Structure 1
Amino acid sequence: MDEQSDLKALRRASGTFEVKMEPQAAGPETAAVEGSGTQLGRMLLHKRFSGDLEGAGEGQMLTAVSDTPGSAGYVAIERFVGTLHGRVGSFVFQHSGTMDHGAQQLSITVVPGSGSGELAGLAGRFALRVDKGQHLYEFDYTL
């Protein structure tokens, strides 16, 4: 395998992260729609990654929480700045998630063309899980 194809090989990064969500002031668009019971919200995200990803994530999240137990949706944009397997740079994650009566669907991908520095050309999918309160990730990517 030559150096160019080796760089495009699928790799996996794993580790942990801490997250702090900071609710933002409610505007008129966040009020519950009469009769629907759905509440809209907005939050700032602050993350600290450890492991194969080392650095910080900052972003914004929009949420919709219905009055049906365990049902909600969110979208978010998050910029990561730090290192990935020792390569320095930044990139942007795009999040889209729903919960339907507790059943979760989550998609977190790298925004195409958002990589900079040694992470230019990055593409990938990010998966997370929470185990006993700890946030764990696996990030499958090509570079």
Structure 2
Amino acid sequence: MTDGTEQVITADFDVSQWEPTPYQVEGTNSELSTVRAVKIFEGDIVGTSVADLLMAGNAVGAGYVCSEVFAGTIAGREGTMVIQHWGVAEGTATASSGHIVPGSGTDGLAGIAGKAIFTQEPDGQHRLELRITLPEDV
């Protein structure tokens, strides 16, 4: 059971590894790829994640869907969790949203629930904002 209080936690992250594997589907006009990315988080979220993305892009826009496994510390609690998220872009307009997979939290993050928003600042800095609830005691 969570204490019901939503916390908003943000942190910057760097992408330390980006391994795309292109693939083709007959009849598409977009570049398609799977990507394995490794991220390093600093700030109120500390740790690393491994993300597997499906990506599509063309001259007008791009999009992705992702499953990401995070290991580290959030709000002073250490553990792992899985985030499912997606994003689309058209020119400079972007949208992104995601959620923590229910029941995916382990150890100190057991019972974590909430939403994840990944953004990239104009200067290129990547950021994660979590809107989460945590159980009172783990």
Using the size of structure 1 for normalisation, the TM-score is 0.82
Q: 1:49-95 deviations in whole A, cap 9, x for unaligned?
A: 111111000121111113x32x1211110000011111011100101
CA distance in 1, matches of 2:57, 2:119: 21
Match of 2:9 in 1: 13
Tell me the CA shift for residue 120 of structure 1: 0.8
Q: What residue number does 2:109 align with? A: 119
> SS of the residue aligned with 1:37?
coil
- Work out the CA distance in 2 between the residues paired with 1:50 and 1:121: 23
- On the 8 A contact 1:60/1:76 being kept in 2, the answer is yes
Q: Deviations over 1:29-54 (max 9, x none)?
A: x22533x3122101101000111111
> Greater CA radius of gyration, 1 or 2?
1
1:58 matches 2:50: yes
TM-superposed deviation, 1:129: 2.8
Q: 113, 125, 128: which one pairs with 1:134?
A: 125
% same residue? 34
SS of the residue corresponding to residue 133 of structure 1 reads coil
**Segments ≥4 residues shifted beyond 3 Å:** none
For the 8 Å contact 2:85–2:116, the answer to whether it is kept is no
What amino acid is the match of 1:31?
Answer: Q
Aligned length: 132
Q: Matched residues in 1 for 2:127 and 2:110: separation?
A: 25
2:109 counterpart SS class: coil
Give the conservation status (yes or no) of the 8 Å contact 1:15–1:138.
Answer: yes
The answer (yes or no) to whether the contact 2:41–2:47 under 8 Å persists in 1 is yes
For the Cα contact (< 8 Å) 1:110–1:125, is it kept in 2? Answer: yes
Normalised to the residue count of structure 2, the TM-score between the two structures is 0.85
CA offsets 1:96-129 (integer angstroms, 9 cap, x no match): 1122344222112101111111111111112233
Aligned counterpart in structure 1 of residue 20 of structure 2, from 16, 20, 23: 23
